[in-house]
Amino acid sequence: MRKETIDKLIGIVGAKYVTTEKEDLICYSYDATGREYLPEAVIFPESRDEISKIMRLASSEGFPVIARGAGSGFVGGSLATHGGLILSTKRLNRILEIDKDNMVAVVEPGVITGHLQHDVEAMGLFYPPDPSSLKFCTLGGNIAMGSGGPQAVKYGVTRDYVLGLEVVLPTGEVITTGTRAAKGVVGYDLTRLFVGSEGTLGIVTKAILKLIPMPISKVTLYVEFPDTTQAAKAVSDIMASGRTPATLEFIDHSALKCVREALSEPLNEEIGAILLIEVHGSASVSKEDSEKIIDLCKQNGSLRVKKTRNKKEANGLWEARRAISPSLFKLGTKKINEDIVVERSNIPELIERLKAVSEKYALTMANFGHAGDGNIHVNIMLQGGDINEKARAEKAVREVFQIALELGGTISGEHGIGISKQPYLRMELSEKEIELMKGIKKVFDPQNVLNPGKIFPD
Ligand SMILES: Cc1cc2nc3c(=O)[nH]c(=O)nc-3n(C[C@H](O)[C@H](O)[C@H](O)COP(=O)(O)OP(=O)(O)OC[C@H]3O[C@@H](n4cnc5c(N)ncnc54)[C@H](O)[C@@H]3O)c2cc1C
Ligand 1 contacts CB of residue 68 (under 6 A): yes
Closest by CA position to 41, among listed 59, 63, 57: 63
Residue nearest to atom 23 of ligand 1 (CA): 141
Q: Exposure of 290 by Cβ count < 10 A (0-12 exposed, 13-18 middle, 19+ buried)?
A: buried
Q: What ligand 1 atom has the least distance to the C-alpha of 167?
A: 42
Report pLDDT for 385: 77
In this structure, the residue with its CA closest to atom 35 of ligand 1 is 199
pLDDT digits 0-9 by tens, 82-137: 999 999 999 999 999 999 999 999 999 999 999 999 999 999 999 999 999 999 99
- The closest-lying atom of ligand 1 relative to the alpha carbon of residue 454 is 49
What pLDDT digit, counting tens, does each position of 350-372 carry? Answer: 999 999 999 999 999 999 999 99
Nearest atom within ligand 1 for CA of residue 73: 29
Residue 361: its pLDDT value, please?
Answer: 96
Domain range list for the chain: 95-213, 216-416
Instruction: Quote the CA–CA distance of 425 and 398 in Å, as a whole number.
Output: 11
State the Cα–Cα distance between residues 100 and 70, nearest whole angstrom. 28
Ligand 1 centre from 203 Cα, in Å?
14
Percent of the chain with pLDDT over 90: 96
Index of the ligand 1 atom closest to the CA of residue 77: 49
Residue 87: count other Cβ atoms within 10 Å of its Cβ.
28
Backbone region of residue 326 per phi and psi (left: phi > 0; alpha: psi in -120 to 50; beta: other values): alpha
Q: How far is the CA of 86 from the centre of ligand 1 (A)?
A: 15
Number of C-beta neighbours around residue 78 at 10 A: 30
Instruction: Please give the pLDDT value at position 378.
Output: 96
Two domains, one topology: 95-213 and 216-416: no
Q: Ligand 1: does its nearest atom lie under 6 Å from the Cβ of 139? A: no
Atom 45 of ligand 1: nearest residue by CA position: 199
Residue closest via CA to ligand 1's atom 34 equals: 141
**Whole-number pLDDT of residue 265:** 87
Q: Which of 369, 397, 414 is nearest to 231 (CA)?
A: 369
Query: What's the Cα-to-Cα distance from 91 to each of 16, 30, 284, 387, rounded to whole Å?
Result: 12, 20, 44, 45
Strand partners, 339: 377, 412
pLDDT tens digits for 4-57?
A: 999 999 999 999 999 999 999 999 999 999 999 999 999 999 999 999 999 999
Residue 83: predicted pLDDT: 97
95-213 carries CATH number 3.40.718.10: no
pLDDT band at 263 (very low <50, low <70, confident <90, very high): confident
Please say whether the beta carbons of 160 and 142 come within 8 A.
no
Ligand 1 in reach of 44 Cβ (< 6 A) = no
For ligand 1, the distance from its centroid to the CA atom of residue 266, given in whole angstroms, is 33
- Which distant-in-sequence residues (6+ apart) come within 8 Å of 167 by Cβ? 174, 175, 176, 177, 194, 201, 202, 203, 204, 205
In whole angstroms, what separates CA 334 from the centre of its chain? 20
Residue 61, pLDDT above cutoff 80: yes
Q: Is the CB of 151 under 6 A from ligand 1?
A: no
Q: How far is the CA of 369 from the centre of ligand 1 (A)?
A: 17
Rounded Cα distance between 381 and 147, Å, is 24
Residue from 81, 145, 370 whose mutation best tests the ligand 1 pocket (most atoms within 8 A of CB): 145
Q: Which atom of ligand 1 is nearest to the CA of 31?
A: 29
Tell me the fold of 216-416. Vanillyl-alcohol Oxidase; Chain A, domain 3 (3.40.462)
What does pLDDT average to over the chain?
A: 96
pLDDT band at 291 (very low <50, low <70, confident <90, very high): very high
Type and span of the H or E element at 206: strand 203-210
- Alpha helices, DSSP H, located in 135-179: 139-145, 152-155
Tens digits of residue pLDDT in 125-184: 999 999 999 999 999 999 999 999 999 999 999 999 999 999 999 999 999 999 999 899
Burial of 276 (0-12, 13-18, 19+ CB in 10 A): buried
pLDDT of residue 457: 82
Closest ligand 1 atom to residue 150 Cα is 8
Q: Answer yes or no: is the C-beta of 339 below 6 A from any ligand 1 atom.
A: no
